[in-house]
């Protein structure tokens, strides 16, 4: 059943759920040559990809963010809107990482409401003057989208705040989620108006637009998409509480590259993908990649930097110099500690002040000498949480000033107003220490700006009265829960909840020797100056280009509805096995070899009941009853289980335990597929596996006659995988001189004798057919896991190396869309059963009955074996109207059989040998 969160999202994706006006289609798409506008890809077409080759020479990047990097104000006299670029915007500053020839187009919202009658004029002006494409979201929708879902649900959750009760956090509201999806769709519409999907790169920013990639990927299957999350990504235990967790996760996975500030955030995301979607990741040559329906989604870890030139230009302003002198005079003889934070519950402002209070209490000698200047930026959100944080901050500051202050000395100074950049720069420059004490934060750039301001410029040094060649110092106390913490190795890292530890850190920072302060400062400045915003943008885009380089080397198509949409991307030579195609080949061939894996192939991997269904038994009987067929089940399971489950299928061969045991049919004896192996190593392996089983809840040992398998599919995914890797290393060391091999598969670690594999047994069966004068002209092999890849490879090698009169038609098929040595794939075990049913029907077509009035055509004796052959029996086939007579033929060394159709007390109709 489709969940409620997905059921109506096809309507959302079509823009029909909410009454939202369609985006205008007046914006030009692509300039192909000067003066000519090319209207690429009709807006309403749904072919998935553009077929038009662009002749654009200029490289274009489309930057999509919640807000455009522009300031807007309305001229009172003329009534016209006036716009200017926001030079402090990260999205504008990232252009420095690229050549001047690179064209940037910005898609985003405005911080002001524009009347509907003015929107077209504003759009044209912004596009012509600033290359900006505004997204106009109706006011009521904007409120639900931004203040509702983004700020009340996503933002608190991503900062580890759970709505445990209505008084602390808002519960999930589906109407807010629908507004979020609708707003993302409107952003997508704007991108579609200007994108050239064959050439342009789209870079989406932050948690406001996490389902936008799904809409773009649905419209243009090969669109080049990058996403960067500027906020923390929570651990899987926190993220999994989100009601629409899968939709958002799949939205991000529709990108080609996903960027995070720290490894912790990336690790949490990968853990969510593993636990919720069953996706595994691997690292190749330093790059982390997730395989998602044939596409590789790359993960990048890269903290954002600052714009050095912009900050240095502010330091060279005359207003900054004047403010520096003013601040120096005001705090002459005192050590200034600076903190600059937004007013919200996660910035830890009150915890910071409590640490200052503890510092003054424990160190009386610092009273009158230390001043904490806390600049409070305007709150970005609303609500009682913000009001409570503000009230607590003021109460704590007032208490500290009353206890430890005097008419001439205020230990804590709160600046709760808009503070221009030059004034913040002045406070940075004169402060001995900077503290960022957030309990949870993304990439806080305050410490970076502080370091650069302490480095100074020639103009700043003159204003402060510092010699040009004098050593520079700075000290940072930073919370370990802030995104910039890992990159500031010279900072004093603290747990913001530990008030005593923060107080001790502040004391250490202001009393440390000048030489050590200088070394820490130099280390920080070296990193910040080389990892600026230009480096960040350039590095991200280089990885995005690399992630997209295979887009046109694969076939791709979209599957899924609504926000469950994703693109399947496969090699041109790897395609789905068509029932009609294989049935046609099956009918025109006479000697067929059919190799089938068991678990995950004829039986669903997720099925609790592992015994084959009556349908599967019937199909296998029909296939194996055809004398043209040699049918084998090749499995890692033990022979006792397989022989019991496949007991009704007398003619089906079984290769158990990866081919260690082989039985050609029910009547034959079990053979050992390889020379008798030394299995003494089992006594070494079993105790080791038992130790890991006891230590890993949800794991178990499967004991076979020739092998031992440790299963961890029911264990914690991360812990089970970690234990499996540890066990693999352990067993490889102790079995270095033993005739055994250790393999790690999907949720298993298996130890088996050397020289035993599915590939070896499949090759031997084919060679046996050739040796007995029955070389196959049709080979079908279906499997789903790594061990089956050996079969695919072995069949190709055996066939190419054998002296066959003609090359057989080979159908190597894997179950699931994934990289494989097979040429074909089927989606799941249900598709496998359906395909086999089609082949079985081709083997046993419906008989052409003769009317009873014609009388019996054959006597029973006509169906008996010829002289010299030993009969095994007569029974009814799965079809109650079909009689089967079977016997052993000494000439061919095989079981032969005949069929007769029963009707009206006699036997007549088609006879099959």
pLDDT in tens, 17-40: 444 444 443 343 333 333 333 333
Bridge-based pairing of strands 335-342 and 370-377 is parallel
Q: What burial class does residue 311 get, using C-beta atoms within 10 Å of its C-beta: 0-12 exposed, 13-18 middle, 19+ buried?
A: buried
Give the sign of the dihedral formed by CA 623, CA 624, CA 627, CA 628. positive
Instruction: Identify the band that residue 554 occupies on the pLDDT scale cut at 50, 70 and 90.
Output: confident
Decide which of 499 and 885 is more confident.
499
Tell me how crowded residue 368 is: count the other CB atoms within 10 A of its CB. 16
Tokens 């959100």, located at residue = 381
Distance CA 213, CA 207 (A): 12
Rg (CA), the chain: 36
pLDDT digits (tens, 9 = 90+) for 687-742: 999 999 999 999 999 888 888 999 998 888 888 888 999 999 999 898 888 888 89
Question: Exposed, middle or buried by CB within 10 Å (0-12, 13-18, 19+), for 555?
Answer: middle
Closest CA to 598 of 793, 765, 791: 791
Is 651 in contact with 631 (CB distance < 8 Å)? yes
Q: Which pLDDT does position 157 carry in this prediction? A: 92
Examine the pLDDT at 120 and tell me if it is beyond 60: yes
Residue 818's pLDDT band (cuts 50, 70, 90) = confident
Q: Helix H segments across 53-99?
A: 90-93
Residues sharing a CB contact under 8 Å with residue 767, sequence separation 6 or more, in sequence order: 798, 802
Sheet with 748-753: strands ordered across: 700-703, 708-711, 748-753, 740-745
Choice among 107-121, 297-311, 421-435, 604-618 with the minimum mean pLDDT: 604-618
pLDDT digits (tens, 9 = 90+) for 154-165: 998 998 888 766
- pLDDT surpassing 60 at residue 899: no
Kindly list the distances between the CA atom of residue 897 and the CA atoms of 290, 841, 843, 900, in Å, as whole numbers in the listed order: 51, 18, 14, 10
Mean of pLDDT over the chain: 83
Q: Which residues of 616-641 are buried (b: 16+ CB within 10 A; e: fewer)?
A: bbbbbbbbbbbbebbbbbbbbbbbee
pLDDT band, residue 866 (cuts 50/70/90): very low
Q: What are phi and psi of 711, to 5 degrees?
A: -100, 135
Least reliable range by pLDDT among 268-277, 593-602, 791-800 = 791-800
Q: What DSSP letter does each residue of 603-671 carry, written as one string?
A: B-TT-S--SPPHHHHHHHHHHHHSTTEEEEEE-SS-HHHHHHHTTT-TT-EEEEGGGTEEESSTTSPPE
Q: Biggest alpha carbon distance in the chain?
A: 125
pLDDT, tens digit (0-9, with 9 covering 90-100), for 44-92: 334 444 433 343 456 899 999 999 999 998 888 888 899 999 988 999 9
Asked whether 699 and 711 are in contact (CB, 8 A), the reply is yes
| Spatial CB neighbours of 140, under 8 Å, sequence gap ≥ 6 | none
Task: Using a pLDDT cut of 90, give the percent of the chain over it.
Answer: 49
The secondary element (H helix, E strand) that includes residue 909 is strand 906-912
Q: Which two tokens stand for residue 292?
A: 């998602």
pLDDT, tens digit (0-9, with 9 covering 90-100), for 334-359: 999 999 998 888 888 999 999 999 99
Nearest to 44 by CA among 25, 28, 29, 62: 25
pLDDT at 169: 58
Average of pLDDT values for 367-377? 93
Query: Across-strand partners of 703?
Result: 708
C-alpha 763/C-alpha 823 separation (Å) is 18
Per-position DSSP letters for 658-685, written without gaps between them: GGTEEESSTTSPPEESSSPPP-TTHHHH
pLDDT average, residue stretch 511-537 = 94
Q: What's the helix, strand, coil split of the chain in %, to 5? A: 40, 25, 35
User: What 3 state SS string does 501-548 have?
Assistant: HHHHHHHHHHHCCHHHHHHHHHHHHHHHHHCCHHHHHHHHHHHHHHHC
């Amino acid at each position: 059943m489709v969940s409620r969160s997905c059921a109506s999202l096809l309507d959302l994706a079509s823009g029909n759920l909410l009454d939202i006006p369609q985006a205008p289609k007046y914006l030009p798409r692509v300039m192909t040559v000067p003066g000519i506008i090319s209207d690429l890809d009709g807006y309403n077409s749904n072919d998935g990809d553009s077929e038009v080759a662009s002749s654009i020479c200029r490289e274009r990047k489309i930057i999509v963010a919640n807000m455009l990097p522009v300031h807007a104000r309305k001229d009172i006299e003329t009534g016209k809107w006036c716009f200017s670029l926001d030079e402090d915007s990260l999205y504008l500053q990232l252009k420095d990482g690229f050549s001047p020839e690179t064209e940037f187009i910005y898609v985003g919202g405005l911080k002001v409401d524009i009347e509907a009658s003015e929107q077209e004029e504003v759009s044209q002006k912004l596009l012509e003057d600033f290359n900006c494409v505004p997204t106009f979201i109706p006011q009521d929708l904007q409120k639900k989208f931004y203040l509702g879902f983004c700020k009340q649900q996503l933002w608190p959750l991503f900062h580890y705040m759970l709505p445990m009760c209505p008084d602390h956090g808002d519960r999930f509201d589906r109407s807010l989620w629908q507004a979020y999806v609708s707003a993302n769709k409107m952003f997508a519409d704007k991108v579609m108006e200007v994108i050239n999907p064959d050439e342009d790169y789209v870079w989406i920013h932050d948690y406001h637009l996490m389902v936008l990639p799904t809409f773009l990927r649905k419209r243009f299957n090969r669109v080049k998409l990058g996403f960067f999350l500027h906020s923390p990504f929570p651990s899987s235990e926190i993220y999994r509480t989100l009601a629409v967790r899968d939709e958002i996760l799949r939205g991000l996975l529709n990108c080609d590259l996903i960027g995070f500030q720290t490894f912790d955030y990336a690790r949490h995301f990968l853990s969510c993908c593993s636990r919720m979607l069953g996706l595994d990741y691997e690292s190749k040559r330093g790059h982390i990649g997730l395989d998602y329906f044939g596409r590789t989604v790359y993960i990048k870890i890269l903290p954002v930097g600052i714009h050095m030139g912009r900050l240095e230009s502010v330091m060279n302003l005359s207003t900054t110099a004047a403010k520096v002198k003013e601040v120096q005079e005001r705090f002459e003889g005192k050590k200034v500690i600076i903190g600059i934070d937004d007013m919200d519950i996660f910035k830890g402002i009150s915890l910071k002040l409590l640490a200052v209070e503890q510092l003054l209490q424990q160190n009386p000698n610092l009273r009158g000498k230390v001043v904490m200047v806390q600049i409070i930026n305007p709150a970005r959100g609303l609500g009682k949480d913000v009001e409570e944080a503000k009230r607590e901050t003021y109460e704590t500051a007032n208490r500290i000033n009353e206890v430890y202050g005097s008419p001439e000395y205020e230990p804590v100074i709160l600046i709760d107003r808009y503070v221009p950049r030059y004034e913040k720069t002045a406070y940075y420059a004169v402060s001995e220490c900077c503290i960022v004490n957030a309990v949870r934060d993304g990439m806080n750039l305050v410490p970076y700006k502080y370091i650069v301001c302490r480095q100074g410029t020639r103009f700043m040094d003159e204003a402060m009265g510092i010699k040009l060649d004098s050593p520079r110092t700075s000290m940072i106390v930073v919370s370990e829960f802030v995104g910039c913490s890992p990159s500031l190795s010279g900072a004093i890292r603290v747990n913001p909840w530990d008030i005593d530890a923060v107080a001790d850190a502040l004391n250490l920072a202001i009393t440390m020797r000048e030489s050590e302060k200088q070394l820490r400062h130099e280390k920080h400045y070296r990193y910040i100056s080389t990892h600026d915003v230009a480096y960040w943008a350039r590095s991200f885009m280089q990885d995005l280009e690399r992630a997209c380089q295979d887009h046109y080397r694969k076939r791709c198509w979209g599957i899924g509805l609504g926000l469950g949409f994703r693109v399947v991307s496969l090699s041109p030579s790897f395609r789905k096995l068509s029932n009609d195609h294989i049935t046609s080949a099956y009918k025109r061939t006479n000697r067929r070899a059919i190799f089938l894996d068991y678990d995950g192939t004829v039986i669903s991997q997720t099925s609790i009941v592992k015994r084959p269904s009556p349908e599967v038994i019937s199909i296998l009987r029909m296939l194996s009853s055809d004398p043209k067929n040699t049918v084998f089940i090749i499995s890692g399971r033990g022979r006792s289980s397989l022989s019991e489950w496949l007991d009704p299928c007398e003619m089906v061969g079984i290769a158990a335990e990866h081919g260690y045991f082989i039985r050609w049919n029910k009547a034959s004896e079990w053979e050992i597929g390889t020379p008798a192996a030394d299995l003494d190593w089992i006594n070494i392996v079993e105790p080791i596996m038992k130790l890991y089983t006891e230590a890993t809840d949800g794991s178990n040992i499967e004991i076979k006659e020739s092998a031992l398998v440790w299963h961890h599919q029911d264990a914690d995914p991360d812990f089970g995988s970690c234990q499996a890797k540890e066990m693999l290393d352990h067993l490889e060391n102790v079995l270095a001189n033993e005739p055994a091999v250790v393999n790690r598969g999907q949720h298993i670690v298996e130890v088996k004798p050397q020289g035993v594999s599915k590939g070896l047994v499949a090759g031997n069966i084919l060679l046996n057919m050739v040796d007995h004068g029955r070389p196959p002209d049709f080979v079908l092999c279906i499997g789903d896991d790594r061990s089956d890849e050996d079969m695919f490879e072995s069949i190709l090698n055996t066939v190419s190396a054998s002296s066959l009169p003609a090359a057989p038609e080979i159908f190597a098929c894997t179950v699931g869309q994934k990289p494989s040595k097979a040429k074909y794939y089927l989606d799941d075990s249900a598709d496998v059963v359906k395909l086999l049913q089609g082949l079985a029907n081709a083997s046993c077509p419906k008989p052409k009955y003769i009317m009873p009035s014609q009388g019996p055509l054959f006597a029973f004796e006509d169906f008996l074996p010829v002289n010299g052959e030993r009969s095994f029996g007569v029974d009814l086939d799965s079809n109650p109207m079909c009689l089967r007579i079977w016997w052993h033929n000494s000439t061919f060394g095989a079981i032969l059989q005949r069929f007769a159709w029963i009707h009206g007390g006699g036997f007549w109709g088609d006879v099959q040998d």
